[in-house]
Amino acid sequence: MRVLKFNIKDVAKRAGVSISTVSRVINDSKVVRPETHVKVMKAIEELGYKPNAIARSLKVKNTKTIGILIPDISYNFYPEVVRGVEDIANMYSYNIFLCNTDMEEDKVIQYFEVMAEKQVDGIVFMGNMVSEELAAKIKLYDIPTVLIGADYGQLPSVTIDHVAASKALVNYLIKKGHEKIALITGKMVDPIVGTARLAGYKKAMMEANLTIKDEYIVEGGHRYKSGYVCAQQLLSLEDKPTAIFAASDELAFGAIRVAMENGISIPDELAVVGFNNIDMAGKIFPALTTIAQPMYEMGAIGMRVLTKILNEDGPEQNKIVLDFSLIERETT
Amino acid sequence: MRVLKFNIKDVAKRAGVSISTVSRVINDSKVVRPETHVKVMKAIEELGYKPNAIARSLKVKNTKTIGILIPDISYNFYPEVVRGVEDIANMYSYNIFLCNTDMEEDKVIQYFEVMAEKQVDGIVFMGNMVSEELAAKIKLYDIPTVLIGADYGQLPSVTIDHVAASKALVNYLIKKGHEKIALITGKMVDPIVGTARLAGYKKAMMEANLTIKDEYIVEGGHRYKSGYVCAQQLLSLEDKPTAIFAASDELAFGAIRVAMENGISIPDELAVVGFNNIDMAGKIFPALTTIAQPMYEMGAIGMRVLTKILNEDGPEQNKIVLDFSLIERETT
DNA sequence: TTGTAGGCGTTATCAT
DNA sequence: ATGATAACGCCTACAA
C-alpha cells in the first residue's frame, strides 16, 4: 500500500486548525463555520489529501465492503448476477470482493474466513448448496449473508422456483404435442441443475400421464461437451425423443450441434429447450427456447436485501422467490 | 462490520501472556517457546479468534487487496480475464475489488479514487484507452498499476498486437481466395476494436493489392444487434462481399444470423470471421473462425506482473505482448 | 464553533 | 523468550 502522502494531521497543520475540525469537514458535519470550511478545503485541495478508509474503518467498525462468493465468474451464468450485485452495491457506496470458489467446499470456507478477517460488512453467496459447515460459520461469525440461487435454513435468499420452472417448460413441450421428451440433467449431486430439474420434469410427465422412460433421462454435467455427448446418446436410441430438455443453455447448445451435424432439423424433427437464458441463447441460430432466470435482478435484489439488513431496516421479507419466464424462440 | 467477538487482548488474557506474544504466534515468529505457542493456540481455538485484517493493514501499510477496473463484467470478453487475475491474486493471498466502469471516464476516475482511499496495494486496469486524467492520477497517487489490453506511456501492460492480428486474419481470408472482404468495425472512437482492426484490415488489403471499397467498411458497435444491422447493410449491396470480418465475435454472431435467415450458406457463399474467441465461439453452429486472444493468460500474466512490482522484484520486462492465434473453424 | 485526548486492533521497538 | 508501549490515521466524546 503506497501511503497517500498526507494525512489528516498534515491538513490540519496547513489549514491552521485541529484535526477534529478537518475530520468534521471531511464528514461534513454542519457545525463548522463556513470560513473554516473553506480554509480546510483549500488545504485538502493543495495537498491532494484523501482520507484513509482503512483507518476510518478501524474506528467506525464498518468497511463499506462486501464479499461475493460465486462458483466461477467465467461460467456464463454468473457475470450478469455479479453485475446486478455490483450496481446496487456501488449505489450504496459498497465495493465488492470477488471470490471464485469453484464450488469446492475448502475454497468456500477459506474465502469466507478471509472475508471475515477483512471485516466485510456482508456477504453474498452463490453456489447450489450451502454446507453445514458454511452455515455454521455464518452463524458463528454473525456476518450478514444473503444467498442467491440457493436456499438454506433461516438465511435470507433470493431464488426462483426451479421445480416449477422445470415443470412449466415440460408442460409447454407437452402442449406442443411432444410425448417423447428426453432430459439432460445436471450432475445429480447438484440440487438445482440436477435434482430440481428432474423433479419438475417428472411432475409434468406424470400429471400428463406420460410414461417416464429411463433411457430418456441422462445425467450430464454443466458444460457444452457433456450436452453434446448426452444428446448423441439420446439420438442414437431406437425410439428417438422428439424433444430434448437440457438443464442449462450450454448443455442445450451441445444438443443443438448434434442435431445440426446429423441433419436433424430443429424444431421440425427435434425440439430443444434450455434453461437460464444466458446472453447468447437468443443470439445463436436457431435461437433457443428457454426459461429465463432474472439473473441481473437476482443479483440486484440480493444486494438490496443485504443493504436493508445492514441498515437494520426492519425485519423484511427475507426469502424472496422471483418469477421466471418462458422465452419461446426458434428451437421449439 | 460485525465485530469478530474477540481481539488479541482477549486471547492474551486467556492464555496468560502479553499481546505481543500472541501477535508473535499469529505471525509465527520463531522466537516463541513451544509451550507458550501451544498455550496461545489453545486460547485462539477456544475463543474462535480471527485477527482483524483492517487493524493489521493500518499498521503494516498494505492491505493484500487489489482493485480491478473493467468496463463490464457481463460483457463476454472480461469474465475470463478477471478469472485469470483472481486466480493469481489468490495464489499470492490478494483479494480483488471488482469495479465496472462501463468505459465512462467519470466512473473510472471515481473508482480509482475509491480504490486509493481503500488503500489497495495495486490496480489492474482494463479499458480500451487510458485518459490523460487517469494517467495523471496513477502517477499522482503512485499506485502500482498494470494495464491489460490497452497500453499507455511508461505503464506496465499486457496486450496483443491488434493490428497484426487483424491483418493476419484478413490475410488468411485472402489466401482462402476472397477478394471482396467486408469489415464491420467497432466504434471508431475505440482505438482497439475500432481503429486497430481497421488498420490491420487496410494493411492486408493494400499489401495484397486489393481495392478497399468504402461501402465494405461499416462502423458497428460491440453488440450483436449492431452486427446484425451492419451485415444486413453489407448483404444488400449490389456487389456483395464474399467474406465478412466482424471486429468481435458477438458482432460476427449477428452477421451469421443474417446469413442464416436469408439462406446464404456459410462458408460456401459467405465466410464470416470474428475476433476474441469467446467461450461460445466454438459452441455455436457453424463454429466461428476467429482470432483467439489469450484472455485468461492476459489476466493471469497481468496480475503476475503486478505481484512482481509489489514485491519489488527487479525492473522486469513491463511491456508484455502476448501471441494471438488464428482458430480455424467452420465459418470459413 | 473548535480543540484535546483516548481508543479502534494490530505490529514493532525497546527493555527486561 | 516475553512484556510494555508507542505508533498507524482516523473519529468522537468531552471540554473549552
What are the CA-CA distances from residue B51 to residues A243, B22, B45, B46 (Å)?
A: 56, 10, 12, 14
CA within 13 Å, CB half, B247: 30
> Grid coordinates representing A3?
501511503
d(CA B194, CA B184): 9
CA torsion angle A254 A260 A263 A265 (round to 10): 100
CB contact under 8 Å between A97 and B96, yes or no, is yes
Q: How far is CA B15 from the centre of its chain?
A: 48
Examine residue A331 and state whether it is found in any structural domain, yes or no.
no
- Chain B residues with beta carbon closer than 8 angstroms to that of A90: 100
Do both B193 and B269 map to the same domain? Answer: yes
**Cell 428417438 belongs to residue:** A240
> Grid coordinates representing A49?
489529501
Inter-helix orientation angle A19-26/A8-15, to 10°: 110
CATH of the domain at A131: 3.40.50.2300
A94-143 tens-digit pLDDT: 999 999 999 999 999 999 999 999 999 999 999 989 999 999 999 999 99
Structural domains counted in chain B? 3
Q: Is the CB of B20 under 7 A from strand D?
A: yes
Given this model, what pLDDT does residue B314 score?
Answer: 62
Do both A271 and A314 map to the same domain? Answer: no
Do both A156 and A169 map to the same domain? Answer: no
Where does residue B149 fall: left (phi above 0), alpha (psi -120 to 50 degrees), or beta otherwise?
A: left
Positions of strand D less than 7 angstroms from a protein CB: 1-5, 7-13
Is A301 a residue whose pLDDT tops 90? yes
Give φ, ψ of A311 to 5 degrees.
-95, 5
> In what helix (H) or strand (E) does residue A162 lie, and over which residues does it extend?
helix A162-175
Do both A22 and A77 map to the same domain? Answer: no
Residue ranges making up the domain that contains B241: 162-292
* A221: three-class secondary structure by DSSP: coil
Q: Is the CB of A47 under 7 A from strand D?
A: no
> Grid coordinates representing A284?
445463436
Do both A271 and A284 map to the same domain? Answer: yes
Q: Which of A4, A90, A119 minimises the CB distance to B52?
A: A119
Q: Is the pTM value of this prediction over 0.85?
A: yes
What's at B202, amino acid-wise? K
Examine residue B80 and state whether it is found in any structural domain, yes or no.
yes
Give φ, ψ of B146 to 5 degrees.
-120, 140
d(CA B53, CA B118): 13
Q: Where are the beta strands (DSSP E) in B14-94?
A: 65-70
Do both A130 and A239 map to the same domain? Answer: no
CB contact under 8 Å between B54 and A57, yes or no, is yes
> Grid coordinates representing B209?
493489392
d(CA B5, CA A11): 35
Confidence of residue A1 (pLDDT cuts 50, 70, 90): very low
Do both A240 and A138 map to the same domain? Answer: no
Residue A156's nearest CA partner among A296, A320, A312 is A320
pLDDT tens for each residue of chain B, 332 residues long: 444 689 999 999 999 999 999 999 999 888 899 999 999 999 999 999 999 999 999 999 999 999 999 999 999 999 999 999 999 999 999 999 999 999 999 999 999 999 999 999 999 999 989 999 999 999 999 999 999 999 999 999 999 999 999 999 999 999 999 999 999 999 999 999 999 999 999 999 999 999 999 999 999 998 999 999 999 999 999 999 999 999 999 999 999 999 999 999 999 999 999 999 999 999 999 999 999 999 999 999 999 999 999 998 766 678 999 999 999 999 99
d(CA B171, CA B177): 10
- DSSP β-bridge partners for residue A68: A98, A124
Examine residue A93 and state whether it is found in any structural domain, yes or no.
yes
CB contact under 8 Å between A224 and B53, yes or no, is no
> Grid coordinates representing B89?
491474486
Examine residue A127 and state whether it is found in any structural domain, yes or no.
yes
The single-letter DSSP state of residue A4 is P
Examine residue A1 and state whether it is found in any structural domain, yes or no.
no
A10-27 tens-digit pLDDT: 999 999 999 999 999 999
Nucleotide nearest to A23 (CA to C1'): D11
Other CB atoms within 10 A of residue B169 CB? 25
Do both B231 and B281 map to the same domain? Answer: yes
Q: What is the mean pLDDT of residues A283-299?
A: 97
Q: Which of B62, B98, B250 minimises the CB distance to A98?
A: B98
What are the CA-CA distances from residue A161 to residues A167, A192, A285 (Å)?
A: 10, 10, 29
Examine residue A305 and state whether it is found in any structural domain, yes or no.
yes
d(CA A146, CA A152): 10
Positions of strand C less than 7 angstroms from a protein CB: 1-5, 7-13
Do both A192 and A226 map to the same domain? Answer: yes
CA torsion angle A126 A131 A136 A141 (round to 10): -30
Given this model, what pLDDT does residue A316 score?
Answer: 66
CB contact under 8 Å between A280 and B285, yes or no, is no
Biggest CA pair distance of chain B: 89
